[in-house]
Amino acid sequence: MTNEIADFDTASLIGSPIPDTDLISTDGHPVNLRNLQSRFLVVYAYPRTSAPGVAPLKDWDVIPGAKGCTPQSCSFRDHHDELSGLGAAVFGVSTQETDYQREAVRRLHLPFPLLSDNESTFAKSLGLPTFEVEGLILLRRLTLISENGYIRQVMYPITKPEENASEVVSVLRDWNK
């Protein structure tokens, strides 16, 4: 698989149900996104976070769409109260192991859990775009917004991760009018 951002048919996901898949949360509990009771569900997929003092993966800064996981997560952190007020539950998902994600939740003070799709069951069930680096299969950055369990909007590609959460807020405000 190349590291170029490939075309991805986001329209094919519109109207699809959220997969009936258990993902391990950084809270330590399995989460099945299909079973959530929130009107809106925001799931932002990100490639990976790097722990402080650990060198990034080879050529990380030149892989299109790879860089920006921390700013994206911090953006959702900073807009979390607003998103919750609009009726949205927020989750980040990556293929990283849960223990690795816990470090990011603590360090970034995230008020929502991250979910591990380390076996790619969620990604494969939706056909989400991925890329490979140093033998790791990573998710391309995208955001799914569902209403009442069905995907209503897909944001991809996300070229400004730090602005993703504010774009989601705008969408949800429009839907709540």
Which tens digit of pLDDT belongs to each residue from 66-87? 999 999 999 999 999 999 999 9
Q: Is the pLDDT confidence value at 132 over 80?
A: yes
Within 31-152, residue ranges assigned H as helices are: 69-78, 80-85, 98-108, 121-126
Q: Is the pLDDT confidence value at 156 over 90?
A: yes
**Which residue from 128, 48, 150, 60 is spatially nearest to 96, judged by alpha carbons?**
48
| Best mean pLDDT range from 5-19, 56-70, 119-133 | 119-133
Which tens digit of pLDDT belongs to each residue from 85-119? 999 999 999 999 999 999 999 999 999 999 999 99
Q: Model pTM?
A: 0.94
Q: What pLDDT score does 5 carry? A: 61
Structural domain boundaries of the chain? 10-175
**Which residue from 75, 69, 122, 115 is spatially nearest to 91, judged by alpha carbons?**
115
Domain 10-175, CATH class in plain words: alpha beta
